[in-house]
Each structure stands twice: as C-alpha cells, then as structure tokens.
Amino acid sequence: MARGGSYSYGSEGPATAVAEQPQPLSADKKKPVLVTGAAGMVGIHTCRELSKKGWQVRALIRDPAKAVMALGQLPVEFRVGDVRDATTLRSSLSGCGAVIHLAAIAIEKKGESYRESNTAATERLISAARTENVQRVIFMSQNGADSRSPFPFLRSKGVAQDSIKTSGLKWTVLRPSVIFGPEDQFVNVLGRLIMLTPKVFPLPGGGSARFQPIAADDVARVVRLSLEKKETVQQSYDLGGAVPLTLRQMTERILVAMGTHRTLVAIPVKALRPLVAMAQRLLPNPPVTPSLLDLLSLDNTVANNALTDYFRVVPIPFAADELQYLRRITVKNALRSLFEGR
C-alpha cells in the first residue's frame, strides 16, 4: 500500500528521495537491526525475541560487562557507545535495515537529563538514520507521553515522539503502560521498598492510581511483529496488560509473590513529598523521585489495547506466578541498591 502522501518532514530537511524512490515497508531481514538501550529491560527481551525469530541484532550498549551478562548467550553484535553521541549513532546504524529506539531515562541524575537522553538523543538518531539511509524505525514511547504534558518525563517522551512522527522515516510508535519483568525498575522497586518497611507499607494516595502492567516479553513480541507487519508503518499503538489494576491491587499481588505480608496504609502524596525530596538529596540512587511521585496521580491505563486488539497477543498476567523473580530481593540487596550508581 503506497504511503507517499502521508509523509511529514522535520526541520532537518525533506526526505523527498524516500517518497520518490519507495522501498519495501517491512524491514529487510538480510540486514542487521540496531537496538538502542539493548542492555535495558525491554532491550534484553527484544534482543532475545528477534534473535529467536532469525533477525540479525546489533546491540548499542554502554557497559560491555553488563551487556555480556545479559546478552552474551545470544548471537548479538555489540557496538559500545552513547546514544547521545552522533558519531556513535552513525557508525552503529551503518549497514542496518532498521532501528529500534529503546534507550531513555525515567529518572534524571547528574550528567543525564530528560532533554539530552530522551529528546535530543532521539533527534540525533533521526539525523543519523537519514544519513545512513536507514528508513525503518520503531520508537518506544510511553503511555501518556505528550509534548504539552506538565510532567517533565512524559513531556520529554512526547517531544521525542513528535520528532519521530515528523521525521519522514517509516516509523512505528509504541506506547506501553508500566512494564514488568525480572529487570524492571518499577515492580522491583516496590519489592525492595517492601523489604525495607517491615509490618507497614505506605501507599501514596491510598494506592488508587491505576495502571495496566504489561510484561516485557509481550512488549518485545510487539516490537518484532511491528518489524514484520507492513501495516504498522506510520502507526502509533497503545499497549497494556490484561486488566487495569490500582497500585493497591498491584502491591497485594507483589506481597503474595514475595510470600510476605504488610499492612497497607494510605498516605497522602503531599505528605510524602518532603521524604522523597530528602531521599533524593541524601541517596545516590533514590527509589522514588518527586517527578515520579507526581506520576502516581495519573491514570496509566489504555482505552484501546493494541496488544490484544491488533497484535492478537494473549497478555502474560500480572500474577504471583509471573512475579517469582521478586523472591530474590533481600533486605541486604535492597539497602545496597540505594547506594549504587544507576
């Protein structure tokens, strides 16, 4: 199906050649697929899924030791570098048939801002993809991402998302709710906080915030299907798990998975702000930041779930059997995580 009339172009120049010389819309399996953020949670599962289905994977990573531990058993080509560096992006994209852009940060720290890591890095990736004639890009956004959002994280992902959509490339945007899996930084954080708060566990806002947790394996499967389905080009998809759950319901399931018990106590978000701000000042790796605490006031569910409605994936449930990885959390490693660099 021709898409020539649907292109819109960014500020870095028109992609007229793309419209005048149309190429196949699905990615070429004979060429490598670059995965940014390959050693992150979604990156690990995506590299596994693609390798299993016969795709050539080129993984852009920053920490070779960490990447070898996570991906060393896979037939993956490693490229070491920073997604914020234009030269790294161009060399990593050279010869590729597609790029899956997963690299992003959820928490700012010294030397890593939302502007540089989430927004500017995406703009540099688009420019590098044009230079290297890599037309196919799959971008991992976020449910609720909006360039007009008052929340810095969601705003940064929204601006990046807009840049992808106006790039002139053959894009697909994925917008998942909260993602869970052995390497996640949401459910694991809740598990570590549970270990550090014996008997009573505070729930911000009473735990009324609603999420639709989706398994990392399901997200990776959608990434692979997006590469393979021509119809996904120039489309954006909201993704969620089987059912919406409040933070309280999620915490209850986490407690069952961990084989422990806590009395859940409602605490106003306003009352938690001073404690969270203090933790951010004192701890090298605070489990929660003020900006993330703000997000607990937002609904993070999806009205039209493309996971089931379009991609026909049966969701992995957010259930105790799927959360057994939380049992490896101990008081000792929960404490250690607070003082480790991210």
Dist. CA 27–CA 147, nearest whole Å: 28
Give pLDDT tens digits for 127-146: 999 999 999 999 999 999 99
Q: Which residues contact 310 (CB under 8 A, 6 or more apart)?
A: 237
What was the pLDDT predicted at 288? 84
pTM of the predicted structure, to 2 decimals: 0.89
Dist. CA 134–CA 128, nearest whole Å: 8
What was the pLDDT predicted at 341? 58
**Phi (first) and psi of residue 258, to 5 degrees:** -85, -10
- What count of Cα atoms within 13 Å lies in the side-chain half-sphere of residue 47? 27
Confidence of residue 290 (pLDDT cuts 50, 70, 90): confident
Instruction: State which amino acid sits at residue 177.
Output: S
What was the pLDDT predicted at 40? 94
Instruction: State which amino acid sits at residue 36.
Output: T
- pLDDT average, residue stretch 280-289: 86
3-state secondary structure of 182: coil
Q: Where are the alpha helices (DSSP H) in 132-268?
A: 152-165, 187-196, 216-228, 247-258
